[in-house]
Chain A
Amino acid sequence: MKQIFAKIVNLANLGNSIYRLTFEAPEIANTVAPGQFINIRISDDSYPLLRRPFSVYNKVGDKLQILFNAVGRGTAIISKRKEGDSLDIIGPLGNSFSLTGDFENTLLVGGGMGVASLPLLYSEIQVNKIPVTIFVGARNKESLILDYLQNVSCATDDGSDGYKGNVVSLVEQYLNKNDIIKPKIFACGPPPMLRAISKLADKYNILCEVSIESAMACGIGICQGCPVERIGTTNKYSLVCKDGPIFESNTINYVLHG
């Protein structure tokens, strides 16, 4: 974990309110693992006050990228930064997806901005030569971001591209139609999607890791502000920023979330 000032080299609008930000961060790029995140300081002002967490979307040499949706005050400010500006970031943070364990196939599932967690993992899966199938869901065609991913099966809520409906139903359809030997699911997306994919994994008895979001103040485990309720663990809660954001889906109690 390091705190650095990173120079912005590119900020691209990918349509709608979705942006891809590229910045120089060799210290972090060298160590980051799939599923980890960084915490960005928005400005020197006190409103918005807290940093904002973003998954590391991809690394290109010494450079890192994040993919974000400008949904509020903080992300609106970042969307107006300029090339050459420097960005105060802390990272890499959190744990990472795990490619160890008893599986032979991988299914990557991204919903909405959750797709931001997939490219790094996809690269690592390719390096390890593990069979992979990718599913991405979004509200509509314009919100589908598929850069750095290949052979993606898409789902859109409005049917404007690919399967009409949610991405979890698409995954279920795929499992029913194909005989996949020992798959493991890696999923990232909004809480209702994660709950659904966890149920699916349970039903088919498949290993499944999910990336969880939570409101965060510090992002480094010192405020105790980002708990997620666990099942079958000694402690009732784990910290999303430090123990997560990646958890085995059947250890999460979704009742309180989303």
Chain B
Amino acid sequence: MVDTTVNIGSLKLKNPVVVASGTFGYGDEVLDLVNVSLLGGIVTKSLTLKPRDGNPPPRIVETASGMLNSIGLANIGVKKFIEDKIHLLRKLDTSIIVNIAGNTIEEYEELIILLEDHAGIDAYEINVSCPNVKEGGLAFGTKCDTTAEITRRVRKLTKKPIIVKLTPNVTRIAEFAVAVEGEGADAVSVINTLVGLTVDVKTQKPKLSTVTGGLSGPAIKPVALAKVYEVYKSVKIPIIGLGGIMNWSDAVEFMLVGARAVQVGTANFIDPAVGLKIADGIEQYCADRKLAQVVDLVGALKI
């Protein structure tokens, strides 16, 4: 038997496979299709203080081995999440990681304060890096001091694990990881989407309403792996690796370069149950190699 559990700070995941924010709704939409209690965890869609309509259509366009999105953090807002969703999530036998995004630093604080009153949340993921919103968004995540400041402020408000989700749209991502580690972050998620653009040559217009959007899917995997590797060499806190993971073998690559857990994003759109298959595949890979625990894979890259 392989021990599949991994620790992210004080959070113990039953296996290292978590579904990524914005790619699994609030966890309740897919219960018909997926036995979610077999997942390591669910990261909910980014929540903001006020509900957000999101950006005008078109919000999605397919690219070679990937997709560009400009959803614009469309979400029901923290109040409705607390009223309508939290009780359902609480019943699921998997770790619930609530992802939050603010327009200002104070909004991150307010979000944590509101959520702290409610049972059922196992950890927070701090989204400082959404490329698709005008205010806040990427403007925070590309400034190291602001990212550190947000981490410091939310750290004071909760004992639950804080996971900071970093953007690859910076020169050296490791600097950001080091900064948030210094402010008490328990882990980092690496990476959010890469800024991208596609043009319709017939109309000579951008294919997304917002001109640029966030690139995700298999197209970004090599970039994501390099970023995880860079961060792994720089910090001691756990890394949750993501970006283009479609199957167990992709996930094992991320663990070998230093990720302790992985998140699956775009792949959920193609196969909502893919997370379970990836968890099984990682376990089988360890069993085949006679590894006692999946954490033995972390950073086991041979160079």
Which residues of B sit under 8 angstroms from A223, Cβ to Cβ?
22-23, 60, 69, 71, 269
Interface: B184 (CB within 8 A): no
CB-contact partner of B54 in A3, A214, A237, A256, under 8 A: A237
Given A216-B60, A222-B29, A237-B53, A46 and B269 contact (CB-CB distance below 8 Å): no
Q: Given A49-B218, A50-B270, A217-B69: A222 and B74 within 8 A (CB)?
A: no
Known: A220-B29, A224-B22. A47 touches B64 (CB 8 A): yes
Residues of B195-225 whose CB lies within 8 A of A: 209, 217-219
A236 interface residue per 8 A CB criterion: yes
Known pairs A222-B29, A224-B74; A49 contacts B57 (CB<8 A):
no
What is the minimal beta-carbon distance from B99 to any residue of chain A, in angstroms? 14
**Residues of chain B lying within 8 A (CB to CB) of residue A228:** 57
- A226 at interface by CB-CB < 8 Å: yes
On chain A, the residues within 8 Å of B22 by CB distance are 223-224
Neighbour of B32 across the interface among A1, A216, A225, A229, CB < 8 A: A1
Smallest CB separation, A74 vs chain B (Å)? 9
A59 at the interface (CB under 8 A from B): no
Instruction: Contacts A227-B54, A236-B53 given; indicate if A215 touches B61 (C-beta within 8 A).
Output: yes
Q: How far, in Å, is B211 (CB) from chain A's closest CB?
A: 15
Closest CB of chain B to A88's CB: distance in Å?
8
Check A3–B272 contact: CB distance below 8 A: yes
Interfacial chain B residues near A88, Cβ < 8 Å: 271
Query: What sequence of 0s and 1s flags, for each residue 24-57 of chain B, a beta carbon within 8 Å of any chain A beta carbon?
Result: 1100011011000000000001000000011011
Contacts of B69 in A (CB 8 A): 217, 223, 225
Q: Is B53 a contact of A217 with CB atoms below 8 Å?
A: no
A90 within 8 A of B: yes
Tell me whether A51 is interfacial, beta carbon within 8 Å.
yes
Q: Given A41-B270, A217-B67, do A48 and B33 touch, yes or no (CB 8 Å)? A: no
Report yes or no: B60 in contact with A225, Cβ–Cβ below 8 A. Answer: yes
Nearest-Cβ distance from residue A245 to partner chain B, whole angstroms: 14
Interface string of B61-83 (1 = CB under 8 A from A): 11011110101001100000000
Contact B62 A49 (CB under 8 A): yes
Would A222 and B57 be within 8 Å (CB), given that A2-B32, A46-B65, A49-B217 are in contact?
no
Q: Which of A3, A49, A236, A237 contacts B67 (CB 8 A)?
A: A49
State whether A222 and B25 are in contact (beta carbons under 8 Å apart), knowing that A1-B33, A41-B270 are contacts in the complex: yes
CB within 8 Å for A47 and B271 given contacts A1-B33, A227-B57, A229-B56: no
Q: Do B217 and A222 have beta carbons less than 8 Å apart?
A: no
Q: A3-B273, A41-B270, A51-B270 are in contact. Are A226 and B59 (CB under 8 A)?
A: yes
B182 close to chain A: CB less than 8 A: no
Q: Which residues of A contact B66 (CB under 8 A)?
A: 46, 49
Residues of A within 8 A of B268 (CB): 218, 222
> Please, how many angstroms separate the alpha-carbon atoms of A235 and B266 in the complex?
26
Give the one of A1, A49, A50 with max B CB within 10 A.
Answer: A49
| Further 10 A-B residue pairs, CB within 8 A, beyond A222-B268, A225-B60, A227-B54 | A46-B217, A46-B218, A215-B62, A218-B268, A221-B29, A222-B269, A222-B272, A224-B45, A229-B57, A237-B57
Binding site for A on B (CB under 8 A): 22-25, 29-30, 32-33, 45, 53-54, 56-62, 64-67, 69, 71, 74-75, 209, 217-219, 246, 266, 268-273
Give A contacts to B, CB under 8 Å. Answer: 1-3, 41, 46-51, 88, 90, 214-229, 235-237, 256-257
- 21 A-B residue pairings within 8 Å (CB atoms): A1-B32, A2-B32, A46-B66, A46-B218, A46-B219, A49-B65, A50-B269, A90-B272, A215-B58, A215-B60, A215-B62, A217-B269, A218-B23, A221-B25, A222-B268, A223-B22, A223-B60, A224-B75, A228-B57, A236-B53, A237-B54
What are the 5 A-B residue pairs with the smallest beta carbon separation, nearest first? A225-B60, A222-B25, A218-B269, A46-B218, A236-B53
